[in-house]
Amino acid sequence: MLPVGMLSAEAETTSGFQVRLDGFDGPFDLLLGLIAQRRMDITAVALAEVTDEFLTYVRTLEPEKALDESSNFVFVAATLLDMKLVQLLPGSEVESDEDIAVLEARDLLFARLLQYKAFKQIAEQMAAAAAENAGRFPRRPGTHPEMAHLLPELQWRTTAEQLKELAERALLRQQLEPDHVVMEHLHTQQVNIQEEMASMAEQLRSAGACTFGELVTAAPSRLVVVVRFLGLLELFRDRTVEFDQQAPLGELTVTWSGGAHDDAAHAIARAGAEWGGSGHD
């Protein structure tokens, strides 16, 4: 079925072509809108008379305008012709594939007409915007002559001796670089969780309490920090240490609660069994 309401039935038009028939006198676009909205019977429109009037009208136009109007009329006339053929077919039900093909062709032509009208309206809007801004010019890049003297002069503060030292450092760095491929970065560092737990237990036993930051200050890598935190959780699980944090995301204070003896041995042994004993990566 035709998309009813897609074309406005107001007197606004995109063409100057006026149609004068027995049942209608007005713009051609308005005629199509009325037919699309089923407010006018297509069978009452004499397409031959419309075509004759259009040919008379287009002869009065300039070549460029005539081409534009003709393109619009071809789409409209083809749509009207298909609509009229369907209306004149005997019976109101679709009974064959040919009837379905006619209906599909009609709707396709109507869709193309709507697309054409949309592009035409956009082109008119773009042309109006271009005409409105025709007298405006962008500011060209570059510094205005009156402002050029306000810019500070470039001051080169590096001496020749300093340049010499920088060059020597760069050359020395190249000489110190190994002449063979280094493979250390391909191997993950191994960290022994039992050793880290024993070290922290000794530090806490001596100090009584430490912040987590103090426990990991000497950690050589982020992996060691992670392993030490896991070790603290194992000690806390065994109630060898206690945690205190005054505020969310605040400093974590670790307090030793295992006494003077080696009460952390059980937690260290269990961590070694759970984490593989020798190391963690």
> Where along the chain do its domains lie?
18-132, 193-274
From the list 43, 119, 20, 138, the residue with the least C-alpha distance to 75 is 119
Q: Provide CATH code, domain 193-274.
A: 1.10.10.580
d(CA 92, CA 238): 88
**pLDDT per residue rounded down to tens, the chain (281 residues):** 333 333 333 334 445 666 666 556 666 666 665 565 555 555 556 666 666 776 777 677 777 666 776 766 676 676 666 666 666 655 555 556 666 666 666 666 666 666 777 787 888 888 888 888 888 877 776 777 777 677 677 777 888 899 898 888 888 877 666 666 666 666 667 888 888 888 888 888 888 899 999 999 888 888 889 999 998 998 888 888 999 998 888 899 999 887 665 667 877 888 777 776 545 55
Prediction pTM value: 0.35
CA 129, 135, 141, 147 torsion: positive or negative?
negative
**Residue 279 confidence (pLDDT):** 53
Other C-beta atoms within 10 Å of 226: how many? Answer: 14
